[in-house]
Amino acid sequence: MPVATRAPATPRKRKTALLPTDPALTEKALAIHARLCPVYGCPIPYFHSLDPVSELVSSLLSHRTRNAESGRAFKALRARFPDWEAVIAAEVPEIEAAIAGVTWPELKAPRIRDVLRALRDRCGSLDLAFLADMEVEAARAWLQAIPGVGPKTSAAVLSFSTLRMPALPVDSHHHRVAQRLGLIGARVDVGPAHAILRAQLPADWSAQDIYDNHEILMLHGQQVCHHRKPACGRCVLVDLCPSARRPMREP
């Protein structure tokens, strides 16, 4: 029998406790934000309006997978199973067959089932609405206590779902651009980058502001600061970027 350990309701807090950060990096992060916002059209519409549990599943599917493929797999999962309880009760091969289009379906199928099961056992139900009443970092820590849920997934659940909380996800594009711009060191991995990059932004920024910051850095990585050949010649950040000076980076 699952034990209900639903987090106690606390007053809604949006201002989050952040790591100490270098004021020069905050200034640079704000300059980058101001430069990229007009390029990519802030405020950027949210691409999802899923409930938090569905967003959790969507995020687990999206790891190292193109958006179109993870979106198709999410729809296939919803079509194959009537609800998330049915996924918990399913055999792994059934889940794997539904999500066959994503990268590593053989790993993601048991992970999705196990995360959903752990969530239900921890809450007593499949409902994450209570996270809206928690401070962002506490809500992220709560989610990351579930095996299989990392920093990007916890931030995605809080930011992209209908919770609309000011958590900053960092994907591979966002991470690469932040490294090239010198916002994080070359050896800082994606996981630790979440707290460092969030701390460079104002603590009282709205969920939309934080979402925009993630989206513009991700879009810049997809459209200009490419993995192999960054298009520094048409980059609006060239005067702010230490990597632009390296000839090997030029197309």
Backbone angles phi, psi at 6, to 5 degrees: -55, 135
Residue 2's SS3 state is coil
Per-residue HEC secondary structure of 12-62 comes to CCCCCCCCCCCHHHHHHHHHHHHHHHHHHCCCCCCCCCCCHHHHHHHHHHH
216 binds ligand SF4 (CB under 6 A): no
- In whole angstroms, the minimum distance from the beta carbon of 232 to ligand SF4 comes to 3
Contact between 35 and ligand SF4 per CB under 6 A:
no
Binding mask 169-198 for ligand SF4 (x = CB under 6 A): --------x--xx-----------------
Q: How many CA atoms does the CB half-sphere of 80 hold within 13 Å?
A: 19
If you search the block for the tokens 């802030």, which residue do you land on? 42
Stretch that binds ligand SF4, among 17-25, 95-103, 203-211, 231-239 (CB under 6 A): 231-239
Residues that bind ligand SF4 (rule: CB under 6 A) add up to a total of 15
Q: Give the separation between CA 205 and CA 46, rounded to whole angstroms.
A: 16
Helix (H) or strand (E) holding 192: helix 190-199
CB of residue 40 vs ligand SF4: minimum separation in angstroms? 14
- Smaller CB distance to ligand SF4: residue 131 or 235? 235
Rounded to whole angstroms, what are the CA distances from 227 to 69, 176, 214, 230?
20, 8, 17, 7
Length of the chain in terms of residues written: 251
Q: Mention every residue, 6+ apart, whose C-beta is less than 8 A from residue 135.
A: 10, 13, 16, 17
Least distance between ligand SF4 and beta carbon 139 (Å): 31
* Using rule CB under 6 A, residue 225 touches ligand SF4: yes
CB of 183 to ligand SF4, least distance (A): 10
| 36 touches ligand SF4 by CB under 6 A | no
Structure tokens at 164: 């609309």
* Residue in this structure with the two tokens 């960092």, named with its chain if needed: 170
Binding residue for ligand SF4, selected from 35, 78, 80, 249, defined by CB under 6 A: 249
In this complex, which beta carbon is closest to ligand SF4, that of residue 55 or of residue 171? 171
Cα end-to-end distance, the chain, whole Å: 60
Binding flags for ligand SF4, 137-156, as an x/- string (CB under 6 A)? --------------------
CB of 41 to ligand SF4, least distance (A): 18
Of 75 and 227, the one with the shorter C-beta distance to ligand SF4 is: 227
* Residue 213 interacting with ligand SF4 (CB under 6 A): no
**51 phi and psi angles, rounded to 5 deg:** -65, 160
> Site residues (CB under 6 A) for ligand SF4?
177, 180-181, 224-225, 230-232, 235, 237-238, 241, 243-244, 249
